[in-house]
Structures are given as C-alpha cells and as structure tokens.
Amino acid sequence: MRKVAGIDALVDKVVDNLPGLSQVWICGALALGIQGDSIDCVLIGTDLNSKYIAGLSARVKELTGKKVNTQVLKQMPDEKREQCLLVWEKEGEQ
C-alpha cells in the first residue's frame, strides 16, 4: 500500500526524524485504496515535534500536490481503527 500510494519515502522520513513516534496510520479514501487530493494520516506517539510535522506536510504538498491532513494522538481510538490502515509500527509496540 505504501509504495502504491507513493508515501513510502514520507513515512521513512517521518520515522527517522520523530523518535517518539510509535505508529503511522493512513485514513480516509487512501486507506480504502482510492486516490484523492489529500492524504489523511494519524501519528501516534509522545513529544512529537509539531513544527517539523507541519513543515514536512507542506513539503509533501509541494512534491505531490496532495494536502496532508495530520492528526497527532497518544493512542489510536478503537472506533477509528476500522477506518484507517496501519502503515508503520515501531518494533515491539504491539
């Protein structure tokens, strides 16, 4: 899914630069395999750098033309899991 959606490099960069990150979820249309004008993602973790995330989101829009809607949470709500796709998880985080 990551390579098809073209977000593999984005996820790798986020993971490398946010040490408190534990999971990356893709939600919305993209989670259903439908290409759209935006990428909705949820970052799960603690002490995540919001300025870095905002800057990276802007850079992704420049490169892909897709707006990135990012939500940062400490835990993924159960009711949201059905609508999203887990694309990365820190080893040993289950």
pLDDT of the chain, 94 residues: tens digit per residue: 444 445 666 677 778 888 999 999 999 998 988 988 998 999 999 999 999 999 988 888 888 888 989 999 999 999 999 999 999 999 876 5
CA 40-2-91 angle, 5° bins = 95
On the 0-12 / 13-18 / 19+ scale of CB atoms within 10 A, 62 is exposed
Helix (H, G, I), strand (E, B) or coil at 44: strand
pTM of structure: 0.84
Q: Which domains are present in the chain?
A: 2-89 (3.30.460.10)
